[in-house]
Structure formats: C-alpha cells, structure tokens
Amino acid sequence: MPVLLSRRLLLQSSAAFATLATLGFRAQAQGTGGRLIVAADSEPKNLNPAIVASNGVFFIASKVIEPLAEASFTGEDRLEPRLATGWKGSADGLSATFTLREGVKWHDGKPFTSADVAFSAMNIWKPLQNLGRIVFANLSNVETPDEKTAIFRFSKPTPFQLIRNALPVVTSVVPKHLYEGTDIAANPANNTLIGTGPFKFAEYKPGEYYRLERNADYWSEDQPKLDEIVYRVLPDRAGAGTALEAEEIHLAAFSAVPLTDLARIGKEPGIQIISAGYEALTYQLVVEINHRRKELADLRVRQAIAHAIDKDFVVRTIFLGFAEPSTGPVPHNSTEFYFSDVPDYEFDVDKANALLDEAGYTRGSNGTRFSLKLLAAPYFNETRQFGDYLRQALAAIGIDAELANNDSAAHQKAVYTDHAFDLAVAPPVFRGDPAISTTILVQSGIPAGVPFSNQGGYANPELDAIITKASETVDGKARIDLYNDFQRLVAEDLPLINVAEWGFITVARDTVLNVGDNPRWAVSNWADTALKG
C-alpha cells in the first residue's frame, strides 16, 4: 500500500484536493455501520477532556464530548464548527462572543444550552483544566443573553487569535446539570461520560476495552457512520502491529505500530499507512538544558552541542523519515507562526570541538572535557533512542554523558521539581499557538514543580518581555511579529535545542474510510469515519 504523505502537502494542489474530496464522498456513501476496533495504549484515570486536555484522554473522549470548534484543513481560521457555529472577538480583546448550535441534545436527552458553556468555562476550564488555566487566566465571567449565545468577558486584553487557536483543545463542553453543585474532580461522570458527540459512552472493562455506541440523535444528519467503536487496551507497543496484522483490530493511531515496522507492515495487503491527521498535534524533540551548570551557561557550549547533533540522522534513523528537522521552537507546519529566518546549527563536529576549545573546556588526558547527566524522557521509544544517540554524539565532542533510566514519575520529579539534570530530552507539544504550551518552555520565573516548563534556570529579560507583550497583543499581525522575534531569539540564545518535530502515524486496515481528514483526526470525533462493506 502506498504511504500517503501528509495531506497538507496534497492540498497544495487543488486538483489533488478535488480527487480526495470525491474519494471521501464515495467512501462515505459506502459506509455501512459496523464496529471499529482500535488499539488504545493507556487507560486515563480521569476521562473528562474538560479537566484533562491531553491526547490520551481526547483519543477516547473526543467521540463523546465535543469542543466548540474543531481543527480543519480547509475551514475559515483553520476551524470547523462543532458546538459553536460562529465566534468573534472584540477589538479591545476584552470579550469574545460564541453563537451556539441549535437542536443539540445531551446523551441523557436534556437540551444543550449556553448555560452549559458558561458553566464549563467558569467552573472547569479556567479553574481545573491543565491548559485552560493558561488560556482563560483572565476570563472574568461568561454572559448568556440567550440559550444560544455565550459572551466571554476578560479582565485583561486577551488575544482572540489565541482563544481561536485553542478552541479545539480547551473547550470541551460538559453538561451543567450533572456537574453543578458536585465535587467536580470526583464526579462519576468524569469516567462514564455524558456528552453531545456522535458516540455515547457504553462500557469500560478496565484492562480490556472501552466501548462507545452510536448516538442516534446526533445533531449532524447521517452521522455517525459507525455503530460502535471499541478501544482495545494494548499497552504494549509491540502488541498493536501484531494485532493489526492478525486482523484483530482495524486501526492503531499515535504510532502504536513502531515506526520500524511500517515499511514491512505497509507491504501487507489490506493495510494502509497514513501520516495525515496529526498536523495540529506536532510533538517536538527538544534538548532541555540546565543553565545552572556553569559549562552549559556558556552560549558557546550550547552552540557546540547544537552543532554536534546530526538532525538528519535523527530524522532518518530514529524517526525513519517520519519527522522533520527543527529550526526553532515553532514547528514548520504552523503556517500561521513559523518563522524561518533564524540562525541555523548545521551538523559540524569540528566546529563544535573548536567552540568548546574556545570556551576553555579542553580535552583531558582521557579525551573528555567534562561530564554531564543526561535524562531522556521515557514517554516515547524515540525520546529514549534519541537519549542513546545524544550520549554518543556528545562523546564525539569530548563530553561524557551518563544516562539515567527513570520511569515517568521519577523523570518528572528529577527534571521539573528537583532540577537534578544537566541535559534532558523532552517531547513538548505545539498546540497551535505558542502561548499555550510553548513559551512556558523558556519563560523565567516559573515555580519548581510545574511540568513541561522552563526548569533549567534560564532567564532572559528580553525574551520574557516579548512573551508578556505577545500575551496581551490583540492584533493578530502584531502578535505574529512578536512571535517571530521570539523564535529568532530562542534560536540565537539556545535556552533549549530544538532537534526535530514529528506527527504520528496511523496504521489502519484499508476498510477504514476517511482516516486523517482533519489536522487533529486521531483526537477528533470520528463522526465521518466508516467501515467499508
């Protein structure tokens, strides 16, 4: 089977798009219900996407609970309406108005209204949600002049650009009537979800599977196409590919099939490999640096490390080509924000060695300049492998790095609370806007213990000023300019080193239709996903 390239590339040609659209249409007509079985690699403790905005939760919950808008390849502002049909920010950045969809019902039959949105925003997104706390930090109240209008009021100017970019991730709406007056964090509805989405939460057998059922009353006519979605829990990475080949499951998303197996599995009849559908979920491979180490506080040393990393090798060998070398903190596929005019650190071991000599760290008698503690995040095979690679790359420039094997909790504590690292490998996510989870990686003044943030002791007043200014700049164009400066400054001063950026791969049987048709496909609602014949 052919490897479909990122759909974004295909869209550059309208002819190609037309073909795809027809294909999509034909495919939809062929869908005949049925049960889709997909691999799930984790069982989130709290399945409520309004509280935990993470891909692990969205993968399952996004079919049941919907956001106000979803990401789209073609829609205006790269968005597609879901529970909101229209949105508009005021010029002063102090309010945002959402027009809500008519005729939507919760799975328990109650009508969906603006009160649900107001409740979710004020009682969950802002106070409880991991990302909403940042995006809605200045939200003061939500007015509901009628059942289908919600007006968000902000105490300080908040760029609507940010709100818009964050809509798919931070605005999962939950029913007020089930949560009001309860302990929200402990509400049983966090695990037996009630939403407005195309599928109803039917059953969960811990350790085995989740089962979702078709919502016959879904607001979109003719949707969903499937009768059922079953998530089979396969925590083991090697398990998904085998299960797929043995035709026990239809689909494995989020690169559950190891990249190394793709070339082989792609040749199997009836299996397709799809890299589209992750454009808005870009993961970044980053080397975090502890600037408290005197050697690493020297820009020349950081530059040397950047020169020592062969990004092409990383992309080619670790990611087997399913990634792109990074130039800075914003990934290439963020067409809105990406800025390419930044310093480039080509792979050059001699230059790296020269920089280290110049910085005064000459090689000792054993060929070593100094030793470092290297912690690779254990979350992905690729981050571990990059840790192994980086150790070797550093050895080539006379830096002796010792790897530690920590599990997730220990890594979290060591890096983000105890700062017990010199270099760390991290996979932060770019979530459509730098202000959501990117600037926090380099901003100063973040207390210890905050995960996925700057805990390397880096402080650059110029960079901090840009970040603060951008967070209050309402004008989209001016804000983009500020983020261009941000990218240039990060690439120049290297508070961290961006190595590569990658989306995931979906492997599916070719009976599964309409896979990857939006930039957050794996975590979108799958209303148009269908099974052939």
Partner 1 sequence: MSLFARLAAAPGGRAGLTILGLMAFIAFAAPALFPGDPLRIAGPALLPPFSSSEFPLGTDRLGRDVLACLVHGAQISLLVGLAAAAAAIFVGMVVGALAGFAGGLVEEALMRVVETFQIVPGFLMALAFASVLGASLPIIILAIALAAWAEPARLTRAQVLAIREQDYIAAARALGMHPLEIAFKEILPNALAPVLALSSVIVAGAILTEAALSFLGLGDPNVVTWGSMIAEGRNVIRSAPFLSILPGLALVVTVLGVYLFSEGLADTLRQNGEERP
Partner 2 sequence: MKRAIVLLRRRLIGSIPVLLIVVVLTFLLLEAASGDAVDAYLVSMGGGDAALVETLRQSYGLDQSVWARLLLYLQALAHLDLGWSVAFNRPVLALICERLPNTLLLMGTSTALSFCLGSLLGIAAGAKPGSPRDRLLSAGSLVLYAVPGFWLGLVLVIVFSVWLRWLPTSGLETIASGKHGWDRALDIARHLFLPVSALGVIYLALFLRVMRAGMADVWRQDYILFAKARGLPRRRILFRHVARNALLPLVTVLGLQSAAMIGGSVVIESVFAIPGFGRLAQEAVSGRDAPLLMGIILVSAVMVILVNVAVDLLYAALDPRVGASEAAS
Residues in contact with partner 1 by the rule CB under 8 A: 237-238, 241-242, 258, 260-261, 263-265, 317-318, 376, 378, 381, 384-385, 387-389, 391-392, 395, 402-407, 410
Tell me which of 97, 385, 417, 511 binds partner 2, using CB under 8 A: 417
Nearer to partner 2, 57 or 423 (CB): 57
Q: Does 402 bind partner 2 (CB under 8 A)?
A: no
SS3 for 201?
A: strand
Please state the separation of Cα 338 from the chain's center in Å.
16
Residue 385 contacts which entry, partner 2, partner 1, none (Cβ below 5-8 A, type-dependent): partner 1
Q: Does 124 bind partner 2 (CB under 8 A)?
A: no
Residue 452 contacts which entry, partner 2, partner 1, none (Cβ below 5-8 A, type-dependent): partner 2
Judged by CB under 8 A, how many residues of this single chain contact partner 2?
57
SS3 for 34?
A: coil
Nearer to partner 2, 190 or 514 (CB): 190
x/- mask, partner 2, residues 25-54, rule CB under 8 A, reads: ------------x----x-xxx-----xxx
Q: How far is the CB of 526 from partner 2 (least distance, A)?
A: 18
Nearer to partner 1, 238 or 465 (CB): 238
- What pairing do the DSSP bridges indicate for beta strands 84-89 and 95-100? antiparallel
Residue 436: closest CA among 129, 51, 100? 129
Nearer to partner 1, 499 or 527 (CB): 499
Which residues partner with 229 through β-bridges? 36, 212
x/- mask, partner 2, residues 241-270, rule CB under 8 A, reads: -xx-xx-x----------------------
Residue 257: closest CA among 114, 196, 268? 268
Task: Report angle CA 70, 75, 78 to the nearest 5 degrees.
Answer: 65
Do 288 and 456 touch, CB atoms closer than 8 A? yes
Q: Strands of 139-146's sheet, edge to edge?
A: 84-89, 95-100, 149-154, 139-146
Residue 184: closest CA among 197, 170, 171, 174? 174
Residue 216 contacts which entry, partner 1, partner 2, none (Cβ below 5-8 A, type-dependent): none
Q: Between 476-493 and 461-472, two packed helices, what is the crossing angle to 10 degrees?
A: 160
Measured distance CA(244)–CA(265) in Å, rounded: 9
At 194, phi and psi to the nearest 5? -120, 120
Measured distance CA(355)–CA(298) in Å, rounded: 10
x/- mask, partner 2, residues 441-470, rule CB under 8 A, reads: -----xx-xxxxx-----------------
**Residues of this chain that bind partner 2 (CB under 8 A):** 37, 42, 44-46, 52-56, 128, 130-131, 133-134, 185, 191, 203, 205-209, 211, 230, 232-236, 239, 242-243, 245-246, 248, 379, 406-414, 417-418, 429, 437, 446-447, 449-453
